[in-house]
Amino acid sequence: MLIVSVAGLLLSIGLGFVITVNIRTPVEAMAKGLQNMRQGNLNWDVPEQVRESIVLRSDELGIAGESFQSTVHYLQEMAGIASRIAAGDLTVKVAPRSEKDELGIAFCKNG
């Protein structure tokens, strides 16, 4: 009976560790990306393999990762447009992504 209890305890600890790592890795990667964005760095500085493993998940963390990656790409695109406008290129065309796209609408008003 003691052996079964110890085996069950070890199995529970091992399973808990696997679940913790499976959740912690994507959350830490997105937190790092948000910290970068807070400082104006629009690069999601995590290895490509980690990004793909997050985005390809079929759970809520995968949805959050895909949304995060799309947001990073959008902000990078808007930063590129802002740079072109700052350099004097007022011919830049911007199509807002929705009626609530504040950056896209603001850039349209510029032109």
Distance of CA 15 to the CA centre of its chain: 27
Model pLDDT for residues 8-31, shown as the tens digit of each residue: 888 899 998 888 888 898 899 989
Helix (H, G, I), strand (E, B) or coil at 110: helix
Q: Model-level pTM?
A: 0.77
SS (H, E, C) 41-106: CCCCCCCHHHHHHHHCCCCHHHHHHHHHHHHHHHHHHHHHHHHHHHCCCCCCCCCCCCCCCHHHHH
As a whole-number percent, the residues of the chain with pLDDT over 90 amount to 41
| 63 pLDDT higher than 90 | yes
Model pLDDT for residues 72-96, shown as the tens digit of each residue: 999 999 999 999 999 998 888 888 9
Hey, where are the domains in the chain? 2-110
Q: Which two tokens stand for residue 101?
A: 């796209």
